[in-house]
Amino acid sequence: MTPPSHQAETGSSPRKESSEAHVELVRRTWATALNHNDFSDDDNFFNIGGHSMLGIALMKELESALGVRLPVRLLFDNPTVGGLAAALPAQVEDPGGAR
């Protein structure tokens, strides 16, 4: 008998869990960088107290947590928790594309 797949056990796919993990990571990193957690996944980083220098530090923290190089441009192109978290899997899967 074949054991049930991870998806059948949890009701979610490994990719969805990865995405949820990225959302949580981005939320924690933003909360630390901004020194508050009064934001939603759709708030723009630059409208809730973020600025370019803070964005650089935030991206360095994400790089450290994920073990890949991330372009700061990624934050400017995806300035929400949801957008940035959705962009991370491509960077993790293809770290050479981050340059």
Find the domain containing 29 and state its range: 12-94
Per-residue confidence (pLDDT) for residue 7, from 0 to 100 = 41
Flag whether 69 is in a domain: yes
- 3: in domain: no
| CA neighbor of 87 nearest in space, from 62, 52, 64 | 62
Q: What is the pTM of this model?
A: 0.78
Q: Please tell me what DSSP assigns to residue 3.
A: P
Q: What is the pLDDT of residues 77-91, one digit of tens each?
A: 999 999 999 999 999
| Residue 49 placed within a domain | yes
pLDDT band per the 50, 70, 90 thresholds, residue 9: very low
Q: For residue 36, tell me if it sits in a domain.
A: yes
CA distance 40 to 12: 23
* CATH number, domain with residue 35: 1.10.1200.10
In a domain, 39, yes or no: yes
Question: Structurally, how many domains does the chain consist of?
Answer: 1
